[in-house]
């Protein structure tokens, strides 16, 4: 297989070739390495391609038999591998815990071959850090790949691997998916366990999953990673059918709430609103009932949750620094994160009930506002990918802690609210701007109802396919000679 052939298969397609003995696991690993060697110097998405990548094992019969995979440098961990959280404070850190997530990945056949870039601690929606530099968007290297699953999205968009690990505590899967023209699902709270040592991260706001290119890969990944681990705070009921089986099920007529107004302080670009309106029309043509909805919450409510978490975050950073024998200062933390840490140290002692109550109120308010709808359609982001050097980077020294979190609430106005409510939400690459940049649109489901999202995403992928689009920076692009396979 040539590199230009490899890059055009999704994960499900590559796995089928392995199972049919058309290609070997070792050949796939070497193709991923070739793509990395060709592409990564231009986009800086992969921090480390493992030296022992060719010896990484996994099931050759699993859903993703021998498919190359990459790990975001935070969250779910591989025992003994570097996990630096894009921070100088954690440089050289190697956890001794193998996460439930990566055990599931290995059992499904995924070969984790390296780790990807991100902003420090995943605090920013931009794609740069002092430790690892700037990750370029394969569609336009002058623009951000989005954060915080920056490198994972850039690597998948450019063809290094067809699927990669991400996690989302306020938009960190959906932002880079939207800006890099990919699919990014944030599952329901509890759908994918954070066990054995990171259950219900950020009090349930953060979840582990993947970034990919096709709806069938998203469905297959749900089948792979869904499930609980001993010690999880609650168990989400598993569906009656597999998510792959949902791909062949009818969607039915749904009531769709459409966001045509801004939900935060930042205005939505006209081209993004046009994409929302066009997709709403498409959903009507597919037989659904569509109605505009007003913002279901005030941005200040989410902002208070973010600030309320600062004292707890500071305490956890102190514990980590002490365990590693390191000092928290300007040499170990980036400017914005240092200010957030100092703010948290000055805040009143953390009481979990304070955040729990703020989140409970938000869940009730949002829940009551959107109860009449089966799904919601919103922009993922108010605008296409920003250029590098935005004031919203954690490397920027000018914003105060409060200003940084206000910007967070404004920029991710359609995203973080559903981390707090626990609902599943997926960004789909349904449109492009006049300049050719991807525009992601978000579909939000009821709690625990990823099945409906799978069916709706399938319908939209069929009605408005995106497989033929690819960015300027794409592995094997100099030798493309044939039509798209699966």
Instruction: Collapse the DSSP code of 76 into the 3-class scheme (helix H, G, I; strand E, B; otherwise coil) and give the result.
Output: coil
Distance CA 69, CA 83 (A): 16
- pLDDT by residue for the chain (486 residues), tens only, comes to 999 999 999 999 999 999 999 999 999 999 999 999 999 999 999 999 999 999 999 999 999 999 999 999 999 999 999 999 999 999 999 999 999 999 999 999 999 999 999 999 999 999 999 999 999 999 999 999 999 999 999 999 999 999 999 999 999 999 999 999 999 999 999 999 999 999 999 989 999 999 999 999 999 999 999 999 999 998 898 898 999 999 999 999 999 999 999 999 999 999 999 999 999 999 999 999 999 999 999 999 999 999 888 888 999 999 999 999 999 999 999 999 999 999 999 886 655 568 889 999 999 999 999 999 999 999 999 999 999 988 899 999 999 999 999 999 999 999 999 999 999 999 999 999 999 999 999 999 999 999 999 999 999 999 999 999 999 999 988 654 434 455
The helix or strand, by DSSP H or E, that contains position 101, with its residue range, turns out to be helix 100-107
* Annotated domain spans of the chain: 3-479
| pLDDT of res. 39 | 98
Residues 6+ apart with CB under 8 A from 452: 251, 254, 374, 375, 445, 446
8 Å CB contact between 418 and 447: no
Distance CA 415, CA 168 (A): 10
Distance CA 440, CA 373 (A): 21
| pLDDT of res. 486 | 58
At the topology level, CATH places domain 3-479 in Amidase signature (AS) enzymes (3.90.1300)
| pLDDT of res. 155 | 98
| pLDDT of res. 475 | 96
DSSP symbols for 110-166:
-EEEEEE--SGGG--SSSEETTTEEPEETTEEEEE--SSSHHHHHHHHHTS-SEEEE
Distance CA 213, CA 484 (A): 13
Instruction: Show the beta-strand stretches assigned E in 357-437.
Output: 375-379, 425-432
List beta partners, residue 144: 136
Distance CA 129, CA 229 (A): 33
Active site residues: 72, 148, 172
Looking at the chain, the number of H-run helices and the number of E-run strands are 16, 15
The total number of residues shown for the chain amounts to 486
């Amino acid at each position: 297989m040539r590199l230009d052939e490899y890059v055009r298969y999704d994960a499900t397609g590559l796995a089928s070739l392995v199972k049919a003995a058309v290609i070997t696991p070792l050949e796939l690993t070497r193709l991923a390495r070739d793509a990395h060697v060709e592409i990564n110097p231009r986009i800086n998405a992969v921090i480390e391609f493992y030296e022992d990548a060719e010896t990484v094992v996994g099931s050759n019969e699993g859903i993703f038999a021998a498919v190359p995979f990459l790990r975001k440098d935070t969250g779910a961990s591989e025992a003994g591998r570097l996990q630096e959280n894009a921070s100088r404070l954690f440089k050289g850190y190697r956890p001794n815990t193998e996460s439930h997530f990566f055990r599931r990945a290995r059992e499904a056949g995924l070969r984790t071959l390296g780790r990807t870039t991100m902003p420090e601690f995943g605090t920013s929606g931009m794609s740069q850090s002092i430790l690892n530099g700037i990750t370029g968007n394969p569609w336009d290297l002058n623009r951000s790949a989005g954060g915080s699953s920056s490198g994972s999205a850039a690597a998948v968009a450019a063809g290094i691997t067809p699927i990669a690990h991400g996690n989302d505590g306020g938009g960190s899967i959906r932002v880079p998916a939207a800006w890099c023209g990919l699919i990014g699902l944030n599952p329901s709270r509890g759908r994918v366990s954070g066990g054995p040592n990171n259950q219900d991260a950020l009090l349930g706001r953060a979840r582990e999953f993947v970034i990919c290119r096709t709806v069938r890969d998203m469905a297959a990944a749900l089948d792979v990673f869904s499930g609980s681990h001993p010690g999880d705070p609650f168990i989400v009921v598993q569906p009656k059918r597999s998510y792959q089986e949902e791909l062949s099920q009818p969607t039915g007529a749904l009531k769709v709430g459409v966001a045509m107004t801004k939900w935060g302080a930042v205005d939505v670009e006209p081209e993004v609103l046009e994409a929302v309106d066009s997709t709403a029309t498409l959903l009507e043509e597919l037989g659904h009932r569509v109605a505009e909805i007003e913002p279901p919450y005030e941005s200040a409510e989410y902002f208070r949750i973010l600030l309320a978490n600062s004292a707890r975050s500071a305490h956890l950073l102190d514990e980590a620094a002490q365990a590693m024998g390191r000092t928290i200062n300007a040499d170990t933390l980036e400017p914005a994160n240092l200010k957030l840490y100092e703010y948290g140290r000055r805040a009143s002692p953390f009481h979990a009930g304070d955040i729990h109550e703020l989140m409970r109120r938000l869940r009730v308010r949002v829940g009551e506002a959107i109860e009449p709808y089966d799904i919601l359609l919103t922009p993922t982001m108010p605008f296409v990918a920003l250029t590098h050097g935005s004031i919203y980077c954690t490397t920027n020294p000018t914003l105060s802690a409060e200003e940084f979190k206000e910007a967070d609430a404004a920029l991710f106005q359609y995203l973080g609210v559903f981390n707090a409510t626990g609902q599943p939400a997926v960004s789909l690459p349904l449109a492009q701007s006049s300049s050719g940049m991807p525009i992601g649109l978000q579909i939000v489901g009821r709690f625990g109802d990823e099945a409906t999202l799978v069916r709706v995403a399938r319908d939209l992928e069929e009605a408005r396919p995106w497989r033929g689009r690819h960015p300027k920076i794409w592995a094997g692009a100099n030798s493309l000679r044939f039509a798209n396979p699966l």
